Amino acid sequence: MIDRRSLVAGGLLFGGLALGPHMALAAAGTRQRLVFIILRGAMDGLAAIPPVGDPRLVQLRGALAAPPEALGAPIALSPDFAAHPALSGFAGLFAAGEAAVVHAVASPYRERSHFDAQNVLETGGNAAYALKDGWLNRLLPLLPPAPPPVAISATLPALLQGAAAATSFAPSRLPDAGAGLKARVAALYDGDPLLHRLWSEAMATERLAVSAGAASGPQNAAALATTAARLLADPAGPRIAVLDVGGWDTHAGQAPRLAGQLRQLDAVFAALKAGLGPAWADTLVIAATEFGRTVAANGTGGTDHGTGSAALLAGGRVAGGRMHGDWPGLARLHEDRDLRPTSSLNGLFAGAVAGLYGLDPDLVVRRVFAAAPDRAMAGLIRP
Amino acid sequence: MSSAAIALNRFGLGARPEMTPPADPQAWLRTQIDSFDPRPGLLAGLPGGAAMTVQYRENLARLRRAGIGGLPRRPGDPEPLQGKAAETAAAEYQQQRRQAFRQAYGAQVQARLALAISGPTPFAERLVHFWANHFAISIDKLATATMGGPLEFEAIRPNIAGRFADLLLAVVRHPGMLFYLDQAQSIGPNSLIAQAARRRAAPRQPGLNENLAREILELHTLGAGHYTQADVQGLARALTGWSVGGFVRRPIGLPAPDGAFVFQPNWHEPGAVTVAGTRYAQDGADQAEAILRDLAVHPQTAQRVAGKIAQHFVADVPPPALVARLADVWRSSGGDLPALYRALIAAPEAWAQPLAKFKTPWDWTVSVARALPKADRPDPRLVLMLNELGQPVWRPGSPAGWPDDAARWAAPDALVRRVEVASRMAQLGGGIDPRALAQRLLPGTLSARTASAIARAESPAEGLALLFVAPEFLRR
């Protein structure tokens, strides 16, 4: 449920624009930026960030254990892990201490439905559809006031739904309505408080995005990431953005498809860094997926739905250049088929946001992840 | 005048320009329940749940034989394809399946739109949509991809003017619901089949699935907070054996036609169960049927569903006195739906305030289409527009269905989408004079500001677009 009564947040958006981009709205507490990337479709963490020199990987995956030769060799991140060659930009960030990986992580969900698992990831709950609001929405009252978080998508994802205000922005696939009509619509809503407010917010977001150089029409993920980054970079803009990157469900033909997906994700990280500019130093990016994939390959050059996967972190605030979490190895698998998860996504999220915003991690767990609490992961954020 | 507008736009699906506003709005609504046709000719040609069950079964068999998707293999299956051949087969299969889906889904949505736009009983059609949302499935599963239409046309339409118990039973027995909530293969832990599997030490033990039982208790009847986990288990055990004909290998007992409800005695969990404080010791399928019939007339079900229907027809926060009266009618009539509808129509609260509800994307799109000149068939682009507006038909993504309040649908970006769609649809208006149309569609609710904005538009098409996004048209 989107509650639009958060006047402070709405006011900041317009107030900032009226006063100009250099007005000091960036008081302490509103410098941090958070970008959450929902990787929809179950990203194969074992292929994105493979363990180095584990014979079981080759045994179980056969040809899929290594990326196609034409793409180059995996890029070493640490003595025990490497990155898929398509993640070359991310590997560079890792080497520069601006990216990290949490491996063998999963939500409490243990079945195989994408939609149900995504719901658990987004609501931070114990079971699908147990909670009606997203964990990121529940976090908002703990943060300093700021313009509402924005999802770069057509509708508000469950992650941002709830009592606190949040908004969505997406270039539409419909032809633009035209400036003339839009101006008349504004006049039409003069006497209707609800519609007037919604329309003003929509036009303000649109102006912000257009002035930030956002193109219209269908766009790829990197272009949407640029839009998000520019919205976040603006001192009068939102402080939290949510992006969707789908297409990870590689049941067949994984080798070429995953390479393309990882290239796209790599471009998203690069676009965020470029678009945020100096604000990158105060940013945390979290990319997480609803579950991983089977260790063994299936009969169609792909993998099926699994359990543990990897989450990717980036940004100036990350305690980077490190592998976080607790690698269980591939000797003992979950249900004899999947990477065994040793950390929980909720623990990761709690630790990350507590570190980013300087909150007490236990408080975050109690208030945001009460339905499926887990110890907040320490050490993810640079002090 | 505004009670005519309420009858046409809030109870109905939107005024049509050639209709004269009803002189007796309440009578106009009541007669529609009597004259409603659940099986109009328009639906006769559409493949139903039976055909879709067969298609699903064949899809699964293809997947299994080709070794795609991790399905357990059966003796007699050919060797699974490998490497390139497997990838090609998988890609081909996906393409064919997508095409078949687009065709079937497209035809079903077109039929729903045609009935909504041109059918003679719009109030009854709205009730069909309401119940289809109350008993929502979502078509984003392989098993239910083409079951949206069949569930609505076969289980809901024929039962909106009887007792709630019969509607509930028809829905629970439909393959769309049985597949969506994983009931079709729920097996009792002490059933004959489970015992045999244990004796054989079979690698995969069949199991109990609680999904359908939980959603019946939480979403269809009593509601959250009014049942316990023990109730879920009891109902789930009673429901074991409720399955879909033509879907199970080696069915025991009387064979059932494809897609028809079948009860598998060997899957049924023996023994009595207790649900919502009552003990049920019936045999076989009678056990769950008895539970469902009792749930259908339970006072809490009456309260909850009365609240939902009042929310849909009167206000986002319905007046408690109205909900209480509707629940009373439910209880004293044993869940008789026409009695409920009559009480709703007669309620003064329902006529007190026009424009109390913000239209959902479906409501709004249908009302726009109704306002335009009649066409032979609904514009095929309407399906895409509904997707863009955020309410793809039969795809709410969860069994809770679509929310029914403004907070969900009245959002900045959503409003921009409506303006874009209105601008597009207005091109289909031909030479209509939007000022006259506004008067006809919004008797008694058209404001001076809107009328003047329409009059000052730079073209009839622009005026029409403004009419469609006017505050009085965005609400009902």
- Tens-level pLDDT at each residue, chain A (383 residues): 332 222 223 333 333 333 333 333 334 457 999 999 999 889 999 999 999 999 999 999 998 999 988 888 999 999 999 999 999 999 999 999 999 999 999 999 998 887 789 999 999 999 988 898 999 999 999 999 999 999 987 667 889 999 998 988 876 666 677 778 888 999 999 999 999 999 998 888 877 776 666 555 446 788 889 999 999 998 888 999 999 888 888 887 888 889 989 999 999 999 999 999 999 999 999 999 999 999 999 877 889 889 999 999 999 999 999 999 999 999 999 999 999 999 999 999 999 999 999 999 999 999 999 999 999 999 999 98
Band (B140; pLDDT cuts 50, 70, 90) = confident
Distances (CA, A) of A54 to A59, A65, A255, A326, A334: 9, 10, 19, 16, 17
Kindly tell me the burial class for residue B224, based on how many C-beta atoms sit within 10 Å of its own C-beta (0-12, 13-18, 19 or more): exposed
Of the residues A199, A300, A307, A336, the best mutation for testing chain B's interface (the one with the most B CB atoms within 10 Å of its CB) is A300
pLDDT at B93: 82
Contact A167 B416 (CB under 8 A): no
Q: Is residue B397 less than 8 Å (CB to CB) from chain A?
A: yes
Residue A175: which of B416, B424, B447 has the nearest Cβ?
B424
Residue B471: which of A115, A155, A195 has the nearest Cβ?
A195
Contact B68 A3 (CB under 8 A): no
Three-state SS string over chain B comes to CHHHHHHHHHHCCCCCCCCCCCCCHHHHHHHHHHHCCCCCHHHCCCCCHHHHHHHHHHHHHHHHHHCCCCCCCCCCCCCCCCHHHHHHHHHHHHHHHHHHHHHHHHHHHHHHHHHHHHCCCHHHHHHHHHHHHHCCCCCCCHHHCCCHHHHHHHHHHHHCCCEHHHHHHHHHHCHHHHHHCCCCCCCCCCCHHHHHHHHCCCCCCCCCCCHHHHHHHHHHCCCCCCCCHHHHHHHHHHHCCEEECCCCCCCCCCCCCCCCEEECHHHCCCCCEEECCEEECCCHHHHHHHHHHHHHCCHHHHHHHHHHHHHHHCCCCCCHHHHHHHHHHHHHHCCEHHHHHHHHHHCCHHHHCCCCCECCHHHHHHHHHHHCCCCCCCCCHHHHHHHHCCCCCCCCCCCCCCCCCHHHHCCHHHHHHHHHHHHHHHHHHCCCCHHHHHHHHCCCCCCHHHHHHHHCCCCHHHHHHHHHCCHHHHEC
Smallest CA–CA separation between A95 and chain B, in Å?
36
H or E element at residue A132: none
Contact A177 B416 (CB under 8 A): yes
Beta carbons of B299 and B307 less than 8 angstroms apart? no
pLDDT at B394: 97
Q: Is residue B77 less than 8 Å (CB to CB) from chain A?
A: no
Token pair listed for A204: 């303000």
Smallest CA–CA separation between A145 and chain B, in Å?
20
Contact B68 A298 (CB under 8 A): yes
Smallest CA–CA separation between B276 and chain A, in Å?
21
For A150, the closest chain B residue by CA position comes to: B413
Size of interface A-B (CB pairs under 8 A): 141
Token pair listed for B8: 């046409």
pLDDT at A212: 61
pLDDT (average), residues B373-384: 86
> What whole-number percentage of chain B has pLDDT above 90?
68
Chain B, 283-302: which have a CB under 8 Å from a chain A CB? none
Q: How large is the angle between the packed helices B83-118 and B49-66, nearest 10 degrees?
A: 170
Q: Is residue B427 less than 8 Å (CB to CB) from chain A?
A: no
Q: Which of A355-369, B252-266, B339-353 has the lowest mean pLDDT?
A: B252-266
Q: Is residue B450 less than 8 Å (CB to CB) from chain A?
A: yes
Residue B68: which of A168, A180, A252 has the nearest Cβ?
A252
The candidate with the shortest Cα–Cα distance to A260, out of A225, A222, A315, is: A222
- Measure the CA–CA gap between B403 and A277, rounded to whole angstroms: 40
For B392, half-sphere exposure in the C-beta direction (CA atoms, 13 angstrom radius) is 18
**Contacting residues of A for B411, CB less than 8 Å apart:** 2, 156, 167-168, 198
Residue B412: which of A187, A202, A251 has the nearest Cβ?
A202
Smallest CA–CA separation between A168 and chain B, in Å?
6
**Contacting residues of B for A170, CB less than 8 Å apart:** 413
For the stretch A48-71, what's the b/e string if a residue is b when 16 or more beta carbons lie within 10 angstroms of its beta carbon?
bbbbeebeebeebbeebbbbeeeb
